[in-house]
Amino acid sequence: MIDLKRVRENPEAVRESQRARGEDPSLVDELLAADEARRAAIQKADELRSEQKAFGKKIGQAAPEDRPALLEGSNELKARVKEAQAAKAEAQEKLEKLQYSIANIIEGAPAGGEEDFVVLEHVGEVPEFDFEVKDHLDLAEPLGIIDMKRGTKVGGARFYYLAGDGAWLQLGMLMLAAQKAREAGFTLMVPPVLVRPDVMQGTGFLDAHDEEIYYLERDDMYLVGTSEVALAGLHQDEIIDLSDGPLLYAGWSSCFRREAGSYGKDTKGILRVHQFDKLEMFAYCKPEDAEEIHQKLLGLERDMLAAVEVPYRIIDVAAGDLGSSAARKFDTEAWVPSQGTYRELTSTSNCTTFQARRLHTRYRDADGKTQTAATLNGTLATTRWLVAILENNQQADGSVRVPEALRPWLGKEVLTP
């Protein structure tokens, strides 16, 4: 939820943010009008309540013979107060609906849509092969580490089994990420994968991505697509202590996505699947520290990608491709040899105060006043990484070299068919 005070003070900046996202700038004017209407409704309700209170005193002091007429006037005033309270509630509801309809105000993101990202940096050398390149599934099946056929038999399309060294490869990658997160001051968490609607709504995922989310109607609960959701809800309705610096968490969980609308895209292998594991970083901090924390999360992603030995690029995601809660997002995209292009492996987003305002997560400033916290998130490892690891480390005989940092968990240097 955007800061209403900020909208009042600089509405044009919010309109420009809407334009950059490709969204309707007139919503800003509707919001301001709704804000005026709400304030007028509050004033009128307060005035009538004061009048009612004064009238009540007048009745109490009146002579017995005068009270019937006064009571009749009191009933009329009571009805007017009730109407004013209803108008106040209606105005508040309309205001909140408009607040929820406007995405976070971008901070430095380039304007445009999905194709308008800006490449910030290329890291690592794209490998050159003197043999015919195989995709990750053609490598994995002879190795016996990914079984799509039986995954589909049991769970349907886009489900799979990780077996043997495939399971160890993922576990090793996630353990390495967990160790790096702990060394960087993050508290490791295994959070719930089912959350209540108010938590899912609070993170912004129901704004434009509700079709991607699994909903359990019988229980009125949602399966998370990222542990960001549960970690954002961790301090819902709390005043947290940021006096010693940000609160840093790393959530390890299974994640679930319906992949609605993506049929025909990346149906082979594990690029787009319904269930995967992920280690997600999450930070609560003071708003003025958010940009610095954002760079810290990106730096940890860099470190992790270097450890698994894949070439990648960093992009500044365009405003129109941001989720509603993100003010800015950097993606790291690994080179996928079989496709001859870069594909997203991680992202890190600065959500400023957008999520915490919805979830009522605050902190006390130096003067003891409560302020809304900022939140940030970033992926440190996920199942999709196996695609880049396998393809970039393949050898002519179909074997795959294991990145050195992952060898302790697999107990071998090469995966052999």
Q: Is 258 annotated as a binding residue?
A: yes
Is 347 a residue of the active site? yes
Please check whether residue 53 is in contact with residue 46, taking contact to mean a CB–CB distance below 8 angstroms. Answer: no
Q: Is 209 annotated as a binding residue?
A: no
**Residue whose structure tokens are 């005068």:** 66
Q: How far is it, in rounded angstroms, from Cα 310 to Cα 384?
A: 13
Is 328 a residue of the active site? no
Q: Is 372 annotated as a binding residue?
A: no
- Identity at 227, one-letter amino acid code: S
Residue 97 CB coordination number (10 Å):
12
Residue 46 CB coordination number (10 Å):
12
Nearest to 294 by CA among 349, 227, 219: 349
Helix (H) or strand (E) holding 401: strand 400-401
Q: Is 276 annotated as a binding residue?
A: yes
Q: Is 325 annotated as a binding residue?
A: no
- Identity at 247, one-letter amino acid code: L
Q: Which of 344, 364, 399, 407 is catalytic?
A: 344
Q: How many CA atoms lie within 13 Å of 160's alpha carbon, on the beta-carbon side? A: 26
Q: Is 201 annotated as a binding residue?
A: no
Is 257 a residue of the active site? yes
Beta bridge partners of 161: 147
Please check whether residue 48 is in contact with residue 80, taking contact to mean a CB–CB distance below 8 angstroms. Answer: yes
Q: Which of 17, 324, 338, 347 is catalytic?
A: 347
Q: Is 377 annotated as a binding residue?
A: yes
Q: Is 226 annotated as a binding residue?
A: yes
Is 384 a residue of the active site? yes
Q: Is 10 annotated as a binding residue?
A: no
Q: Is 211 annotated as a binding residue?
A: no
Q: Which of 21, 38, 158, 257 is catalytic?
A: 257
Q: Which residues of 356-386 are buried (b: 16+ CB within 10 A; e: fewer)?
A: bbbbebbbeeeeeeebbbbbbbbbbbbbbbb
Q: Which of 15, 80, 272, 302 is catalytic?
A: 272
Q: Is 47 annotated as a binding residue?
A: no
Which of the residues are catalytic?
A: 257, 272, 344, 347, 384
Binding positions for ATP are 257-259, 273-276, 344-347
Binding positions are 226-228, 257-259, 273-276, 280, 344-347, 377, 379
Binding positions for L-serine are 226-228, 257, 280, 377, 379
